[in-house]
Structure 1
Amino acid sequence: MDDQIISSMPPQIIVFPSPLQWPSNSMFDLAELLCLSGHDVTFVLIPYTHTLLLRYFRIESRLSPYLNFHLQTISDGLPPDHPRSDPTELLESLETMTKPVFKEWLTSEKCGQVSCIISDGHMGFVYDVANEIQVPVFSALTLSPTSLWVVYNLFNLSEPGEVSDLRESDLNSLIKRVPGIKGVLTGGDLASMCQSSDLASPSSKVLMKQFKELSRAHGVIFNTCKALDGSILSQIRSFCPNIYTIGPVHTHLAVRQEAKSIEPLLNYSVDENKNCLAWLDTRQPKSVLYVNIENEVKLTRVQVLELWHGLVNSGKGFLWVRQPESIVGDGRVPPKIHKGTKERGCIVDSASNVQVLAHKAIGGFLTRGQWDSTLQGIAEGVPIICWPSSWDQQVNSKFVSKAWKVGIDMEGSLDRSIIEKTIRDVTESKGELVENATKMKYKVRKSVSKDGSSYAVLDHLVDDIKN
């Protein structure tokens, strides 16, 4: 490329999320928001993720409004036929194999000038490369601020005995010495990877490394707003002074585009999405429970049947997103379940959370409690049922049920009678739960309006990048 052409090109923002499906959705929304602000953005993907993008999403039509949005693929070091089902193995390969390739591309004529790099905190080599070439790096975390604060304290408490208390004593005891969460969380609510008493375990090392990388970031971008996490954010500023709360990013993007909604990136096939929306059109307002417990979750046959029985026995309509490969085991399904599903249910391989949750027929949302999904439900004012299992889901679930009071935490239970009762409690509720969900919807949507806090913070972020 000619040197004069390179020198005349505007500096670009490099957005490089870890190649896991759930971070890519919000990171893609963030990249579009930056494009709308006038920045040139290059979104970096591994070939495997890029293939999924082309297969399941109308990427050409989505990117057509942007002349300043570019896609770039970079090798993850794994063979093409590798299943990439183990996130830890994939991230390790990226750390080992992708680092030199990434640096070589960033310093090449093909890349051009770079104003900053934005990653999601999982890939330490991005910070290494950014420092080596003297480019600022921002962390766009997919964790909720509350989960970050809890786990940070788990590894950084001034009194060593507190760590032991959280890990080894009664898991029903309330966590008392972490500012901002008094009376909300118990030791048992910590993510499973944080409950190990071995601080040298691989999972503990990954978390501690991620927190250490934050100190090298110019700033930390959160997909949240002050209305949800204001008190926790004030605590996090003690070790991350430059915080940018620009969420909910999917709603924020829609506002900036002057549109009513935006389709998320990778988690649905176009045909299935149309089919389930057409089915929802036939249902009464707030009569359907939406069930999406994330694609990577593997269910046993017993778990599938308990959940299925609970859905059918509740007597409510349900839309269930269930990947065929997410079910372990086989066997016959009782005729009663088939009959109840045919009468009141719809099962699809994939769907758009944003579009489904915005539909008038949805009266509840059953989710694992991953942060993006939780925030999508809150932004639509839909009461949430959380069935947490790992990572930050326990923390999110407790804040949904105890702090914000917009949902119910099933606390890991998957019993048909509990599921049936919980579904009825949520879908038939006309009191505090629905009222709180509606109020919180108003607050988070106000934050991304033109005079809202998240709207102003994004403008501040854009100015900081320019400067």
Structure 2
Amino acid sequence: MDCRGSDLPPHVLIFPFHAPSHVGSMLKLAELLCHGGLHVTFLVTHYTHRRLLLHSNVQSRFARYSGFQLETISDGLPEDDPRSGDKIMDLLQSFGVTAKPLLKKFLISNGQQNCNTQKPIKCIIVDGVMSFPIDVAQEIGIPIFSFRASSTCNMWPYFCVPKLIEAGEIPFKGNDLDAPVASVPGMEHFLRRRDLPSFFRVQDVSDRDLQLIFNETHQIPRAQERREKFMQSADRMAKMGKEAVREGGSSSYQLDRLIEDIRLLSAD
């Protein structure tokens, strides 16, 4: 539905992977965006929703924000599945098959709602370990940001896996975790094996979990391909994030720029 001209704020969908640390990080982002005046729908699995209601203060924490709402989606697993430990990676691998059509249906349905209290969703912020929402966003024409819940130092080595393999730095030879790692640009002078994500401690570079995270990470740039204006915004955000990390600070101070970009994208 066309809500242009409405005085209601832009409406953003935040969609985290269901691992607790990812949900926690993206709830903080949701809170900051709500504080910035945006409407936010936070989409989680039924299982995660139950755990949030039982073990967190999410209801009281977001009660002050009338534009915040929790919505749920199926992960396709039985109720008694543990969804933890090694099962996390199984879920990451299978989640897209189950959730992709459900996400598309959810967004299409949301786009048909009236504008009495909230605009339809016009921007998606998805957990950077999931690439299937990028496909959905591009199919229905909604701008999308990929957000990694981990630090820049954690994410960057995944982009460098081919360099590390070519240089023979993974798999590790020997057990010295203090051995230097020289094939991650920008970290050559201080990075050690022990500083790399745990997925790098494999005996075989074809390890499923390493390849899964590597492949999902390399889908992130696709979230910037929708149009030139969005690419310019994403490039500027990436540059500011790098500058903030280099200065020893946090990129969170650029939140106002992110909010402004979302407003501009939602106005089109």
TM-score, length basis structure 1: 0.47
**Shift in Å at residue 109 of structure 1?**
4.3
Q: Out of 127-136 and 58-67, give the one that drifted further.
A: 58-67
Q: In the alignment, does 2:205 pair up with 1:199?
A: yes
Using the alignment, how far apart are the partners of 1:129 and 1:104 within structure 2?
Answer: 10
Q: Which residue of 2 is the match for residue 97 of structure 1?
A: 98
Q: 1:75·1:98 contact (CA, 8 Å) conserved in 2?
A: yes
Using the alignment, how far apart are the partners of 2:195 and 2:76 within structure 1?
Answer: 36
Using the alignment, how far apart are the partners of 1:6 and 1:51 within structure 2?
Answer: 36
Q: 1:105·1:111 contact (CA, 8 Å) conserved in 2?
A: no
Any residues of structure 2 matched to 1:49-64 within 5 Å, and which? 49-64=48-63
Distance change >3 Å, CA 21–CA 111, structure 1 → 2: farther
Unaligned runs of 5+ in 2: 114-119, 226-233
Unaligned runs of 5+ in 1: 220-238, 249-439, 448-452
Q: 1:6·1:109 contact (CA, 8 Å) conserved in 2?
A: no
Any residues of structure 2 matched to 1:209-358 within 5 Å, and which? 209-218=215-224, 242-243=237-238, 245=241
Q: Which residue of 2 is the match for residue 466 of structure 1?
A: 263
Using the alignment, how far apart are the partners of 1:48 and 1:454 within structure 2?
Answer: 29
**Shift in Å at residue 54 of structure 1?**
1.1
Letter in 2 for 1:141: R
Which deviations, in whole Å up to 9, do the C-alpha atoms of 1:21-54 show, x marking residues without a partner?
Answer: 0111110010011111111100001111111111
Any residues of structure 2 matched to 1:445-460 within 5 Å, and which? 454-455=252-253, 457-460=254-257
Q: 1:166·1:187 contact (CA, 8 Å) conserved in 2?
A: no
Which deviations, in whole Å up to 9, do the C-alpha atoms of 1:39-84 show, x marking residues without a partner?
Answer: 1100001111111111122333212211111110111111222221
Q: Which residue of 2 is the match for residue 87 of structure 1?
A: 88
- SS of 1:215's partner is helix
Which deviations, in whole Å up to 9, do the C-alpha atoms of 1:376-408 show, x marking residues without a partner?
Answer: xxxxxxxxxxxxxxxxxxxxxxxxxxxxxxxxx
Q: Which residue of 1 is the match for residue 117 of structure 2?
A: none
Identical pairs, percent: 34
Using the alignment, how far apart are the partners of 1:241 and 1:199 within structure 2?
Answer: 33
Q: In the alignment, does 2:27 pair up with 1:21?
A: no
Structure number with bigger Rg? 1
Distance change >3 Å, CA 62–CA 173, structure 1 → 2: closer
Which deviations, in whole Å up to 9, do the C-alpha atoms of 1:388-440 show, x marking residues without a partner?
Answer: xxxxxxxxxxxxxxxxxxxxxxxxxxxxxxxxxxxxxxxxxxxxxxxxxxxx9
Using the alignment, how far apart are the partners of 1:168 and 1:62 within structure 2?
Answer: 45
Letter in 2 for 1:91: L
Using the alignment, how far apart are the partners of 1:105 and 1:23 within structure 2?
Answer: 21
Using the alignment, how far apart are the partners of 1:4 and 1:148 within structure 2?
Answer: 38
Letter in 2 for 1:191: P
Question: 1:114 is matched with which residue: 115, 121, 144?
Answer: 121
**Shift in Å at residue 466 of structure 1?**
1.0
Q: In the alignment, does 2:127 pair up with 1:126?
A: no
**Shift in Å at residue 194 of structure 1?**
1.7
Using the alignment, how far apart are the partners of 2:221 and 2:166 within structure 1?
Answer: 26
Letter in 2 for 1:77: G
Q: In the alignment, does 2:168 pair up with 1:169?
A: no
Q: 1:215·1:240 contact (CA, 8 Å) conserved in 2?
A: no
Using the alignment, how far apart are the partners of 1:181 and 1:148 within structure 2?
Answer: 13
Q: 1:155·1:208 contact (CA, 8 Å) conserved in 2?
A: no
Question: 1:185 is matched with which residue: 179, 187, 191?
Answer: 191
